[in-house]
Structure 1
């Protein structure tokens, strides 16, 4: 084992140590306690390489508001949001734990047992209650209990007493001896549906813990599936616990800890199977146009883009927006309306007015040139009345868009990890519903699809209660283009496409907010 304390990281930091341990042939599992990450982007890349070689398990403190304050006080570090850390760790393939005991429980399991060759597990126990506790723990951690093959059930029926439970969990009963344990475990391990096994023992008059431990250790050497033991009973099972540990079988005092360790092994096994060869999708975009928009915004002393500027950025990345333009006279307003086609929407363009409807700065469903002329002066009059000090840059006239299903695609730049993408249900209730999933940009197409699949919004996209399915590929493209925009321009602090109207064919970014840094 190697133990490294980083202190205040004056020279080496967690990224350097991670890279060293990933390449060290004598290290099979990497454990880390972190309060912050100094070089988020580089850590992200190096950790992705590391997890392809060996498990990386991290206990990241500062999850709560009080914990974050303590981290800042302890290290002077401004840590990124905990949501961003969780997102980054998931993407990397790091296993995050919340308690010190979990850190070492997983380390023991990974260092002593092979990875599961499947995601379903079996439980063998001599106490029904302990088996149920283990089954509940599996359900909480989304670990599937194996459904045995008919052959396995038949063999268990022949080998165990009539009162025994031959389904999963397998209850070999309180009077089980070493032979009964051995037979049940052997049968279960030979079932191809079983990826790993949890063996539970509680002290019983007819059960000899050391004999059962010997049988488990012997079977562990003959099979290539992970076996984790739970010997409950304190001092009465200490000797057998030590024996198991010395013979390469992790042994825990309670089922929940063993299930948690097995869950981590299954998760890592899944991570190892990821397609790391998939390429990033790069779209043909107009970066110069975006750069020109940002320079114009800064020269005006602003950091928040106005409607026409945000739409120009979206158009440069081929993200569909409503047709429209900014008018500085009633004649221009009519010309734009005639060009895009009726009905139209009109809204005030002013850096001082964030909530346009509050000052009467929005008019909907205007059907002809007379409506547009009246609307132009109506908006100016309303704004002069309710926001007399606001600078008015013009009136934006846009095609009124048919109602679609509302989604949100966004980006917020985290202090540590950089651009964090968000996708979920959109509209005015986005903060109430909180159906949003996150990824660190840039992302690949498969990651964008997973981002969508994690939300309830995905059910709407696939067609909910007989409604037609929506254009999945069009929404995917918007997510990937926002990802590319976020990485192409590090000066962008936030992007908020809400709502993104989606239809059975195509989608439209109806409202877009973009904030940039004062200097690029």
Structure 2
């Protein structure tokens, strides 16, 4: 964490804009710092004050006769650039700019922010913010924020792009008794961003789990690298808002349409090993559970309940989350049968009946936790007239303490009658939720992280021998022609330059040329219109197959032109593609869309006419290993098709994976490629062939 020590463990802090007036941000920040028992020196900076809260005030940071590690800035936006200049002259290591009025406020504010960042680079200091709440470190300790209170000390590191969410969470955490190691308000992320935060929290010995609320990622490539490394050290849970399908609707290719911006975030998070929360409650359910529990080696879940209904609900939720219910050993079943009332259910879920007291809970939990098939236990309590929640909580604490290698999560359903018992569990490192679904979801988080940690990281990225010069030549000619969409023969040539097999295809600009090409390639043939404006050629009669002689070629030539003129009279036609006809294979789609945040995202799935029908496409962010490419393919229905169904021989899966990896390499080598589709790729028992290749380049190159 040494890289951000100036922020979290400064030896001296100046509060520029510190105020004597309660209700001002500068007052709250300064008061919070001195009230948090910060061990370093604190200097209030205010040209109109001599003393603030018992501390001598200075007119400028330059007047302080001491080194300053960190400046907290609360002055109006129009004064921040002058303050930054003075901080640079003072050689501060960092600035926390709480002031608003920067890029979030419009063009003028964005220009102020740009100049602010320039000054930070000129003087070599870092910036948190602007437009942020500040930060809190409970171990230094320092509360350099204008939050209304200080959180309890704990092991959750939390960074938020929203200051409002952060303040709400802090107030809630005090009521719930949840502690934090560090709390960081990211603000506009002009300099320090979520990647810096993850890097710092990953190396922080006081932080066990990292939670993030994000509206976007500033630098996807760096975030990917940093978070992938950090996720091997501790759990990362992200709540990402701003979900939008606008990007998907705008994309012109099949792969682009299926890979909207939210899909890109989910793909990146899955690949990195980040657990994605879908609401604030879920974010902190995961956070609480990771902060209190260890990660069991066994995934299977046992449920103990004193009421049938909640047990059934928990069972249903386990199935929904893909959690296996533990199959008890015979000894466990016999022990439960011999010691529980005959009306009890001794199988999983174990129903110990509504009159269960602490002894019955103690026995059932001890028995189930002793079963080698059990990794997690969800223990449910509903308060009946005879139930003693506090005594039962104490029994759960006692038993679970003997089985630290397994996870115990509780759901005490009710209000006032279970409140103290719930607090007892939480204070003894046992997560307790008000409803069983929340408990199951929390266990699912533990299991997902455990599965990720069990996967051997494979970071070997294949690199193929390819002909980059050929691709450069093709792209240059396309731009010279004022196009961004490659014609079919051009796209096929790019594919072949990267070792992707395609049928022979040539462009005919006249009937005579079409016949000549047909005779040279040989029959049977397929003919297609060559136009960058027509994406779905088959729909308008722009493709004719199974041509066996030159007479059929002539007829097809005029038929295609006639169909195109009928449906797209204003489209530009470059000619007719004459392509070798190849045997039918299993139809696959392999494509790439370039996401603005994450870069090239490669997808594979069922191809041909099934693309939009089944939307069976799995994605990975490039680059990825051969093992990851196989993992991507194996998650699709296409994989089952390739393995062979109902006695069919399997297709050449290795050749399909080769194409996936070659498309991935092409997308990295040429960043001007916006989208690429191979649809269909015919997969055979041996080898494969890319029948139709579409490539769209970036505009204006």
Same fold, TM exceeding 0.5?
Answer: yes
Matched, 1:48 2:228: yes
Residue correspondence of structure 1 range 109-508 to structure 2 within 5 A: 109-223=289-403, 224-328=405-509, 332-354=513-535, 356=537, 361-372=542-553, 375-376=556-557, 392-508=573-689
Return the alpha-carbon distance in structure 1 between the equivalents of residues 571 and 415 of structure 2. Answer: 74
Alpha carbons of structure 1 residues 97 and 378: separation in structure 2 relative to 1, 3 Å: closer
Q: How far is 1:122 from its partner?
A: 0.5
| Worse overlay, 464-473 or 289-298 | 464-473
> How far did 1:233 drift?
2.2
CA distance in 2, matches of 1:479, 1:24: 38
Q: 1:505 is paired with a residue of what secondary structure?
A: coil
Deviation at 1:170, TM superposition (A): 0.8
Q: How far did 1:5 drift?
A: 0.5
Deviation at 1:59, TM superposition (A): 0.8
Q: In structure 2, do the counterparts of structure 1 residues 356 and 203 end up closer, same or farther at CA, with 3 Å as the change threshold?
A: closer
Structure 1, residues 210-232: CA drift from partner, whole Å, max 9, x if none?
22211211222211101111112
Cα distance change of structure 1 residues 98 and 375 upon mapping to structure 2, 3 Å threshold: closer
User: What is the SS of the residue equivalent to 2:486?
Assistant: coil
Residues 448 and 476, structure 1, Cα contact 8 Å, conserved in 2 = yes
Note the C-alpha offset of 1:384.
Answer: 7.2
Q: Does 1:100 align with 2:280?
A: yes
Distance 1:353 1:240 in 2: 67
Whole-Å separation in 1 of the counterparts to 2:591 and 2:208: 38
Counterpart check, 1:29 vs 2:209: yes
TM-score by length of 2: 0.69
Report the Cα distance in structure 1 between the residues aligned to 2:230 and 2:314, rounded to whole angstroms. Answer: 32
Q: CA deviation at 1:349?
A: 2.9
Higher mean C-alpha displacement, 316-325 vs 369-378: 369-378
1:12 has 2:192 as partner: yes
How far is the alpha carbon of 1:252 from its aligned partner?
A: 1.1
| Cα 1:338/1:245, change in 2 over 3 Å | same
Secondary structure in structure 1 of the residue aligned to 2:406: coil
* Distance 1:359-1:216 versus aligned 2 partners, 3 A rule: closer
* Greater mean alpha carbon deviation, residues 502-511 or residues 13-22: 502-511
Structure 2 CA distance for partners of 1:348 and 1:233, relative to 1, 3 Å = closer
1:233 and 1:393, CA in 2 relative to 1: closer, same or farther beyond 3 A? closer
Aligned-partner Cα distance in 1 for 2:244–2:563: 45
Residues 449 and 354 (structure 1 numbering): CA distance in 2 closer, same or farther, change over 3 Å? Answer: closer
Q: Distance in 2 between matches of 1:29 and 1:387?
A: 57
Unaligned runs of 5+ in 1: 69-79
3-state secondary structure, aligned to 1:197: strand
- Judged with a 3 Å threshold, the aligned counterparts in structure 2 of structure 1 residues 274 and 358 are, in CA distance, closer, same or farther, namely closer
Which deviates the most, 509-518 or 426-435? 426-435
Change in Cα spacing, 1:496 to 1:210, as seen in structure 2 (3 Å) is same
Structure 2 CA distance, aligned partners of 1:267 and 1:382? 53
Is contact 2:458–2:625 with CA below 8 Å preserved after alignment? no
What SS class does the counterpart of residue 16 from structure 1 fall into? Answer: helix
Aligned-residue CA RMSD in angstroms? 2.4
**Offset at 1:450?**
2.0
Q: How many equivalent residue pairs?
A: 509
Deviation at 1:25, TM superposition (A): 1.0
Secondary structure of the equivalent of 1:2? strand
CA contact 1:159–1:184 (8 Å) conserved in 2: no
Residue 73 (structure 1) aligns with: none
Query: Is the CA contact 2:244–2:261 (under 8 Å) kept in the aligned structure 1?
Result: no
Contact 2:275 2:445 in 1 (8 A): yes
TM-score (norm 1): 0.92
Shift of 1:264: 0.4
1:172-205 alpha-carbon deviations (Å, 9 max, x no partner): 1122222221111111111111111111111134
Alpha-carbon spacing, 1:360–1:55, altered in 2? closer, same or farther (3 Å):
closer
SS at match of 1:4: strand
1:209 Cα offset (Å): 1.6
